[in-house]
Protein backbone atom coordinates (compact mmCIF):
# COMPACT_ATOMS: atom_id res chain seq x y z
CA UNK A 1 0.00 0.00 0.00
CA UNK A 2 1.28 3.43 -0.91
CA UNK A 3 -0.09 5.95 1.58
CA UNK A 4 -1.52 9.25 0.42
CA UNK A 5 0.04 12.18 2.30
CA UNK A 6 -1.55 15.58 2.98
CA UNK A 7 0.72 18.45 3.95
CA UNK A 8 -1.08 21.31 5.65
CA UNK A 9 1.08 24.42 5.40
CA UNK A 10 2.53 22.84 2.30
CA UNK A 11 3.60 26.13 0.73
CA UNK A 12 6.07 26.98 3.50
CA UNK A 13 9.75 26.15 3.17
CA UNK A 14 9.65 22.89 5.12
CA UNK A 15 6.25 21.96 3.69
CA UNK A 16 7.63 22.29 0.16
CA UNK A 17 10.74 20.37 1.19
CA UNK A 18 8.68 17.44 2.48
CA UNK A 19 6.35 17.52 -0.55
CA UNK A 20 9.38 17.06 -2.83
CA UNK A 21 10.82 14.43 -0.50
CA UNK A 22 7.63 12.33 -0.23
CA UNK A 23 7.07 12.58 -3.98
CA UNK A 24 10.66 11.57 -4.72
CA UNK A 25 9.95 8.42 -2.68
CA UNK A 26 6.90 7.62 -4.80
CA UNK A 27 4.11 8.89 -2.52
CA UNK A 28 1.13 10.95 -3.63
CA UNK A 29 1.09 14.30 -1.86
CA UNK A 30 -1.85 16.69 -1.43
CA UNK A 31 -1.10 20.20 -0.31
CA UNK A 32 -3.21 22.78 1.48
CA UNK A 33 -2.23 26.24 2.56
CA UNK A 34 -3.89 29.63 2.87
CA UNK A 35 -4.16 30.16 -0.87
CA UNK A 36 -4.61 26.62 -2.25
CA UNK A 37 -7.71 25.43 -4.13
CA UNK A 38 -8.19 22.65 -1.57
CA UNK A 39 -8.71 23.55 2.09
CA UNK A 40 -6.88 21.88 4.97
CA UNK A 41 -10.09 20.08 5.86
CA UNK A 42 -10.48 18.72 2.34
CA UNK A 43 -6.97 17.32 2.01
CA UNK A 44 -7.12 15.98 5.59
CA UNK A 45 -10.20 13.98 4.67
CA UNK A 46 -8.49 12.35 1.69
CA UNK A 47 -5.16 11.38 3.25
CA UNK A 48 -3.70 8.40 5.11
CA UNK A 49 -1.02 10.54 6.70
CA UNK A 50 -1.73 14.18 7.60
CA UNK A 51 1.38 16.28 8.15
CA UNK A 52 1.08 19.67 9.86
CA UNK A 53 3.83 21.99 8.63
CA UNK A 54 2.64 25.17 10.32
CA UNK A 55 4.29 27.62 12.74
CA UNK A 56 4.44 26.40 16.34
CA UNK A 57 1.83 28.88 17.68
CA UNK A 58 -0.69 27.77 15.03
CA UNK A 59 -0.46 24.02 15.66
CA UNK A 60 -3.31 23.79 18.17
CA UNK A 61 -5.70 25.89 16.07
CA UNK A 62 -4.98 23.88 12.89
CA UNK A 63 -5.32 20.59 14.80
CA UNK A 64 -8.78 21.69 16.01
CA UNK A 65 -9.75 22.60 12.43
CA UNK A 66 -8.65 19.42 10.71
CA UNK A 67 -8.86 16.65 13.36
CA UNK A 68 -12.64 16.10 12.96
CA UNK A 69 -12.09 15.49 9.23
CA UNK A 70 -9.36 12.83 9.45
CA UNK A 71 -10.10 9.21 8.66
CA UNK A 72 -10.08 7.28 11.99
CA UNK A 73 -7.32 5.02 10.62
CA UNK A 74 -5.17 7.93 9.45
CA UNK A 75 -2.07 9.26 11.17
CA UNK A 76 -1.63 12.83 12.35
CA UNK A 77 1.90 14.21 12.57
CA UNK A 78 3.57 17.62 12.82
CA UNK A 79 7.03 18.92 11.86
CA UNK A 80 7.63 21.57 14.53
CA UNK A 81 10.81 22.13 16.50
CA UNK A 82 9.21 21.54 19.88
CA UNK A 83 7.19 18.50 20.78
CA UNK A 84 5.45 18.69 24.18
CA UNK A 85 2.60 21.07 23.28
CA UNK A 86 2.11 20.02 19.64
CA UNK A 87 1.92 16.30 20.53
CA UNK A 88 -0.45 17.08 23.43
CA UNK A 89 -2.67 19.12 21.09
CA UNK A 90 -2.77 16.35 18.47
CA UNK A 91 -3.58 13.71 21.13
CA UNK A 92 -6.29 15.90 22.66
CA UNK A 93 -8.17 16.56 19.44
CA UNK A 94 -7.59 13.45 17.32
CA UNK A 95 -8.39 9.98 18.69
CA UNK A 96 -6.28 8.08 16.11
CA UNK A 97 -2.56 7.56 15.64
CA UNK A 98 -0.28 10.50 16.41
CA UNK A 99 3.45 10.91 15.74
CA UNK A 100 5.36 14.01 16.77
CA UNK A 101 8.10 14.58 14.21
CA UNK A 102 11.08 16.92 14.19
CA UNK A 103 13.47 16.91 11.23
CA UNK A 104 16.80 18.17 12.60
CA UNK A 105 17.70 20.08 9.47
CA UNK A 106 16.53 23.10 7.52
CA UNK A 107 14.97 23.60 4.11
CA UNK A 108 18.36 24.29 2.44
CA UNK A 109 19.31 20.62 3.00
CA UNK A 110 19.72 18.79 -0.30
CA UNK A 111 19.09 15.20 0.79
CA UNK A 112 17.75 13.46 3.87
CA UNK A 113 20.64 11.00 3.68
CA UNK A 114 22.58 11.06 6.94
CA UNK A 115 20.26 13.67 8.46
CA UNK A 116 18.39 12.99 11.69
CA UNK A 117 14.63 12.92 12.18
CA UNK A 118 13.27 12.65 15.72
CA UNK A 119 10.01 10.76 16.21
CA UNK A 120 7.97 11.14 19.40
CA UNK A 121 5.34 8.40 19.59
CA UNK A 122 1.99 9.89 20.55
CA UNK A 123 -0.53 7.13 20.05
CA UNK A 124 -0.40 3.90 18.03
CA UNK A 125 2.39 1.94 16.41
CA UNK A 126 1.28 1.13 12.89
CA UNK A 127 2.05 4.50 11.33
CA UNK A 128 4.99 5.10 13.63
CA UNK A 129 6.61 1.91 12.29
CA UNK A 130 5.73 2.82 8.72
CA UNK A 131 7.25 6.30 9.11
CA UNK A 132 10.36 4.95 10.80
CA UNK A 133 10.93 2.38 8.05
CA UNK A 134 10.19 4.91 5.33
CA UNK A 135 12.74 7.42 6.71
CA UNK A 136 15.40 4.75 7.26
CA UNK A 137 14.87 3.47 3.72
CA UNK A 138 15.47 7.01 2.44
CA UNK A 139 18.79 7.16 4.31
CA UNK A 140 17.77 9.27 7.32
CA UNK A 141 18.83 8.55 10.87
CA UNK A 142 15.81 8.11 13.14
CA UNK A 143 15.77 8.83 16.87
CA UNK A 144 12.75 7.85 18.92
CA UNK A 145 12.13 9.60 22.21
CA UNK A 146 9.39 11.18 24.33
CA UNK A 147 8.19 14.76 23.72
CA UNK A 148 9.55 15.79 27.14
CA UNK A 149 12.98 14.30 26.47
CA UNK A 150 13.02 15.84 22.99
CA UNK A 151 12.31 19.31 24.34
CA UNK A 152 14.87 18.89 27.13
CA UNK A 153 17.57 17.99 24.55
CA UNK A 154 16.48 20.69 22.08
CA UNK A 155 16.82 23.32 24.80
CA UNK A 156 20.56 22.72 24.40
CA UNK A 157 20.77 21.66 20.73
CA UNK A 158 18.57 24.47 19.39
CA UNK A 159 17.72 26.76 22.33
CA UNK A 160 21.28 27.38 23.48
CA UNK A 161 22.98 27.15 20.06
CA UNK A 162 20.57 29.61 18.44
CA UNK A 163 20.62 31.87 21.50
CA UNK A 164 24.40 32.17 21.30
CA UNK A 165 24.31 33.13 17.61
CA UNK A 166 21.51 35.65 18.21
CA UNK A 167 23.48 37.13 21.12
CA UNK A 168 26.67 37.39 19.04
CA UNK A 169 24.79 39.12 16.21
CA UNK A 170 23.01 41.48 18.58
CA UNK A 171 26.34 42.26 20.29
CA UNK A 172 27.90 43.31 16.97
CA UNK A 173 24.98 45.70 16.53
CA UNK A 174 25.06 46.86 20.19
CA UNK A 175 28.76 47.72 19.84
CA UNK A 176 28.45 49.14 16.33
CA UNK A 177 31.07 46.68 15.07
CA UNK A 178 32.26 47.19 11.49
CA UNK A 179 31.85 43.71 10.03
CA UNK A 180 33.80 44.40 6.82
CA UNK A 181 36.79 45.40 8.92
CA UNK A 182 36.38 42.34 11.18
CA UNK A 183 36.30 40.04 8.17
CA UNK A 184 39.67 41.42 7.06
CA UNK A 185 41.10 40.41 10.43
CA UNK A 186 39.18 37.17 10.86
CA UNK A 187 40.71 34.03 12.32
CA UNK A 188 39.27 30.72 11.07
CA UNK A 189 37.24 30.37 14.32
CA UNK A 190 35.83 33.89 14.05
CA UNK A 191 34.97 33.34 10.38
CA UNK A 192 33.01 30.18 11.24
CA UNK A 193 31.10 31.91 14.07
CA UNK A 194 30.33 34.92 11.86
CA UNK A 195 29.11 32.66 9.03
CA UNK A 196 26.85 30.72 11.44
CA UNK A 197 25.51 33.97 12.92
CA UNK A 198 24.81 35.47 9.51
CA UNK A 199 23.16 32.25 8.28
CA UNK A 200 21.01 32.02 11.40
CA UNK A 201 19.87 35.64 11.41
CA UNK A 202 19.15 35.62 7.67
CA UNK A 203 16.35 33.11 8.28
CA UNK A 204 12.78 33.54 9.51
CA UNK A 205 12.84 35.78 12.61
CA UNK A 206 9.38 34.63 13.72
CA UNK A 207 10.33 30.93 13.52
CA UNK A 208 13.48 31.46 15.54
CA UNK A 209 11.68 33.63 18.09
CA UNK A 210 9.17 30.78 18.48
CA UNK A 211 11.94 28.23 19.02
CA UNK A 212 13.26 30.43 21.83
CA UNK A 213 9.89 31.24 23.38
CA UNK A 214 7.88 28.05 23.06
CA UNK A 215 10.18 25.37 24.43
CA UNK A 216 9.48 25.41 28.16
CA UNK A 217 12.83 23.70 28.79
CA UNK A 218 14.81 26.62 27.32
CA UNK A 219 14.67 28.99 30.25
CA UNK A 220 16.71 26.91 32.69
CA UNK A 221 19.38 26.28 30.01
CA UNK A 222 19.55 29.95 29.02
CA UNK A 223 19.61 31.05 32.67
CA UNK A 224 22.51 28.62 33.18
CA UNK A 225 24.33 30.20 30.22
CA UNK A 226 23.65 33.69 31.62
CA UNK A 227 25.11 32.66 34.99
CA UNK A 228 28.24 31.25 33.33
CA UNK A 229 28.64 34.44 31.26
CA UNK A 230 28.38 36.56 34.41
CA UNK A 231 30.92 34.37 36.23
CA UNK A 232 33.35 34.57 33.29
CA UNK A 233 33.03 38.36 32.93
CA UNK A 234 33.56 38.67 36.69
CA UNK A 235 36.76 36.56 36.51
CA UNK A 236 38.09 38.61 33.59
CA UNK A 237 37.11 41.94 35.16
CA UNK A 238 38.99 40.95 38.34
CA UNK A 239 41.97 39.58 36.36
CA UNK A 240 41.52 36.27 38.18
CA UNK A 241 43.92 34.13 36.13
CA UNK A 242 43.86 31.04 38.40
CA UNK A 243 40.04 31.13 38.54
CA UNK A 244 39.75 31.47 34.76
CA UNK A 245 42.29 28.71 34.08
CA UNK A 246 40.44 26.41 36.51
CA UNK A 247 37.13 27.11 34.76
CA UNK A 248 38.74 26.43 31.36
CA UNK A 249 40.26 23.17 32.58
CA UNK A 250 37.01 21.99 34.18
CA UNK A 251 35.09 22.76 30.99
CA UNK A 252 37.77 20.95 28.97
CA UNK A 253 37.44 17.92 31.27
CA UNK A 254 33.70 17.83 30.69
CA UNK A 255 33.79 18.45 26.93
CA UNK A 256 36.94 16.65 25.85
CA UNK A 257 36.92 13.80 28.37
CA UNK A 258 39.56 13.21 31.02
CA UNK A 259 39.34 14.76 34.45
CA UNK A 260 35.73 15.94 34.08
Residues between 232 and 251 that touch a second copy (CB under 8 A): 232-233, 236-237, 239, 241, 244-245, 247-251
How far are the Cα atoms of 114, 194, 200, 204 from residue 209, in angstroms, in the given order? 27, 20, 12, 9
In this chain, which of 25, 39, 227, 259 binds a second copy, going by CB under 8 A?
Answer: 227
Using the rule CB under 8 A, is 113 a contact of a second copy?
no
Min separation Cβ 25 and a second copy, Å: 22
In this chain, which of 27, 50, 104, 122 binds a second copy, going by CB under 8 A?
Answer: 104
How far are the Cα atoms of 129, 244, 246 from residue 104, in angstroms, in the given order? 19, 35, 35
Contacts 24+ apart (CB under 8 A), 197-203: 197/165, 197/168, 197/169, 197/172, 198/169, 200/162, 200/165, 200/166, 200/169, 201/165, 201/166, 201/169, 203/106
In this chain, which of 16, 41, 143, 144 binds a second copy, going by CB under 8 A?
Answer: 143
Residues between 55 and 94 that touch a second copy (CB under 8 A): none
Specify the 3-state DSSP secondary structure of 47.
coil
In this chain, which of 72, 110, 137, 189 binds a second copy, going by CB under 8 A?
Answer: 189
6-14, 72-80, 129-137, 222-230 -> range binding a second copy (CB under 8 A): 222-230
Burial of 65 (0-12, 13-18, 19+ CB in 10 A): middle
Closer residue to a second copy (CB): 138 or 244: 244
Using the rule CB under 8 A, is 167 a contact of a second copy?
yes
Min separation Cβ 202 and a second copy, Å: 5
Amino acid sequence: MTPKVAIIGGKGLMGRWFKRFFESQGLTVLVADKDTPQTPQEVARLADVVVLSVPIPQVEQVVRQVAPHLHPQAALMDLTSIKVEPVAAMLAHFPGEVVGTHPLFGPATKSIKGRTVVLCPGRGEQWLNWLRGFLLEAGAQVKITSPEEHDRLMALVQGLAHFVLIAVGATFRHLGADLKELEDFATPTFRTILDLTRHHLSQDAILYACIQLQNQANLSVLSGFEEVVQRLVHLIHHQDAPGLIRLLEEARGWICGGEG
